[in-house]
Amino acid sequence: MTALVLFGGGGDLAMRMLLPSLYFLDHDGLLPEGLKIIGAARSEETPAEYIARVRQSVEAKARADKAWDETVWARMEARLDYMAVDATSAESLKPLRDKVGQGSVTSFLAVSPSLYARIVTAMRAAGLAEPEDRVVLEKPVGRDLESFRAIDDAVADAFSEAQVFRIDHYLGKETVQNLLALRFGNTIFEPLWNNLSIDHVQITVGETVGVGDRWPYYDEYGALRDMLQNHMLQLLCLVAMEPPSDLDADSVRNEKVKVLRSLRPITHEDAERVTVRGQYESGTSGGKPVPSYDEERGLDSDTETFVAIRADIDNWRWAGVPFFMRTGKRLAEKRTEIVIQFKPVPHSIFGHDDRGDVQANRMVIELQPEEDISLSVMNKRPGLDQRMQLQPIQMSLSWGVGGKDARPPRRRIAYERLLLDAMAGDSTLFVRRDEAEKAWEWVDQVSQAWADAGTKPHDYAPGSWGPDEADMLLARTGRDWNTTDA
């Protein structure tokens, strides 16, 4: 492996995530020997100016994590270079190919997806799509199945599927991989992991930030396409998939595709019952006044900043187990979690004729703000009460007896794992073409139903958990969303 080229190397993703990730990898001695890192973008800056900007961004992040080390930076600086290019022109890319020299190139496209097709075509003509080269595509690829296919066809003309790494950064998160370890590295959960023991599953990705000046992108996509089509369906797949025969990329992805294929289609009639969309109003968030989405956008928009959906998986394992997903901006908390809600005991021997004092077991797989997997189990409250008193206790399954104090000193950026894997050619944690297609197909039905119904998103207050209709989605089935203090 010779080089990693970051197209859009001066942009937000590269500066905030990719270059700090590369620094941390270098810090831990994980970057391939001799790896060159080349920023490539339109802006006419010199390598020295670029490297100074990279240092600023990397140093701030590394200092915040107490991992800044001048020796590591000197090593990274020696790898770095910059070239001003028009990535859509083969002529402009040829000098870049020459600079890279012999050896394989991994190109990361951290640019607007509207340029992907033209860039890969130019890369092919410039010799940056040789059989040993790879390309990493950041989401979103397309905004529906049709536009995804148009872009991906151009990618497929230049690269074989094994050379293409479609990023979903959620798959690089430590707890997501820990979910695989939990499910397939233990025997005790598997017999319970089905509709006999599980009542329902909830997936929540809450963010407190608003859309702000990202609206030109966001207004085209909305929460459904920005978060649910990718991150949330990926989480759903990992919870619901059958055990793969090994961790090979295709073994895992075959199982995920089967889940996506089993998602019950959402018809126009269903859409009103099983989907909710919302948009934040003005109000206060974190004690500060905040504008509504429409005010940020500058005109009235029907784009949803919140979505909640009930998904049903029509197969033997999951028949009758709803998967509720919700995500939104300007919600009460920055919190990402998967809740596995087990069924209640069939009969309580502790109370009289209600089961109120016996809470059903609940596994919470928390990705943010903490990374943890915990299981609530009922326990006897110590004491000599005449009638035995129960209490739920939380067991941490991630940090063991050390509890949360046993966690590693630094939380890794999800891109660290993914950059390493892409450079090593391991696509287990990347999205295969058919997966992305199936996810778009399912999500397109929802966006189409919304468009045809001509309805508007429900308003919700900043700092809430979305519109009341999202609570009703569960309440109608006798359930409610997990709350942090539960």
Q: Which residues are catalytic?
A: 231
**Between residues 301 and 361, which has the closer beta carbon with respect to ligand BG6?**
301
Sign, Cα dihedral of 118, 92, 166, 310: negative
Contacts with 313 (C-beta within 8 Å, 6 or more apart), sequence order: 240, 259, 262, 263, 264, 319, 321, 323
In angstroms, the CA 125 to CA 112 distance is 20
Shortest Å, Cβ 178 to ligand BG6: 16
**Between residues 379 and 484, which has the closer beta carbon with respect to ligand BG6?**
484
Contact assessment for residue 223 and residue 306, using Cβ atoms and an 8 Å cutoff: yes
Contact assessment for residue 150 and residue 142, using Cβ atoms and an 8 Å cutoff: yes
Shortest Å, Cβ 366 to ligand BG6: 12
Q: Where are the beta strands (DSSP E) in 157-285?
A: 164-166, 198-206, 275-280, 283-285
Looking at the chain, the number of H-run helices and the number of E-run strands are: 16, 17
In angstroms, the CA 18 to CA 323 distance is 33
Shortest Å, Cβ 359 to ligand BG6: 29
What is the chain's alpha carbon radius of gyration, rounded to the nearest angstrom?
Answer: 24
**Between residues 255 and 333, which has the closer beta carbon with respect to ligand BG6?**
333
**Between residues 226 and 416, which has the closer beta carbon with respect to ligand BG6?**
226
**Between residues 217 and 316, which has the closer beta carbon with respect to ligand BG6?**
217
Largest CA distance in the chain: 85
Confirm or deny that 343 is annotated as ligand binding: no
324: left (phi over 0), alpha (psi -120 to 50) or beta: beta
Contact assessment for residue 390 and residue 378, using Cβ atoms and an 8 Å cutoff: yes
Is there binding between residue 226 and ligand BG6 (CB under 6 A)? yes
In angstroms, the CA 265 to CA 336 distance is 25
For residue 266, what are its two tokens?
A: 């959402």
Residue with tokens 């059989």: 131
3 state SS for 43-96: CCCCHHHHHHHHHHHHHHHHHHCCCCCHHHHHHHHHHEEEEECCCCCHHHHHHH
Shortest Å, Cβ 50 to ligand BG6: 25
In angstroms, the CA 178 to CA 35 distance is 29
Contacts with 249 (C-beta within 8 Å, 6 or more apart), sequence order: 426, 427, 428, 430, 432
Total residues contacting ligand BG6 by CB under 6 A comes to: 4
**Between residues 202 and 336, which has the closer beta carbon with respect to ligand BG6?**
336
Contact assessment for residue 247 and residue 428, using Cβ atoms and an 8 Å cutoff: yes
Contact assessment for residue 460 and residue 307, using Cβ atoms and an 8 Å cutoff: no
Confirm or deny that 458 is annotated as ligand binding: no
Shortest Å, Cβ 415 to ligand BG6: 10
Shortest Å, Cβ 483 to ligand BG6: 19
Contact pattern for ligand BG6 over residues 290 through 329, marking x by CB under 6 A: ----------------------------------------
Shortest Å, Cβ 336 to ligand BG6: 6
286: left (phi over 0), alpha (psi -120 to 50) or beta: left
Confirm or deny that 173 is annotated as ligand binding: yes
Confirm or deny that 380 is annotated as ligand binding: no
**Between residues 81 and 226, which has the closer beta carbon with respect to ligand BG6?**
226
Shortest Å, Cβ 20 to ligand BG6: 14
Contact pattern for ligand BG6 over residues 354 through 373, marking x by CB under 6 A: --------------x-----
**Between residues 301 and 336, which has the closer beta carbon with respect to ligand BG6?**
336
Residue nearest to ligand BG6 (CB): 226
Confirm or deny that 258 is annotated as ligand binding: no
Q: Residue 431 carries which DSSP code?
A: B
Confirm or deny that 329 is annotated as ligand binding: yes
Binding site membership: which residues?
42, 139, 169, 173, 207, 226, 329, 334
Binding site membership for substrate: which residues?
169, 173, 207, 226, 329, 334
Binding site membership for NADP(+): which residues?
42, 139
Binding site for ligand BG6 (CB under 6 A): 207, 226, 336, 368
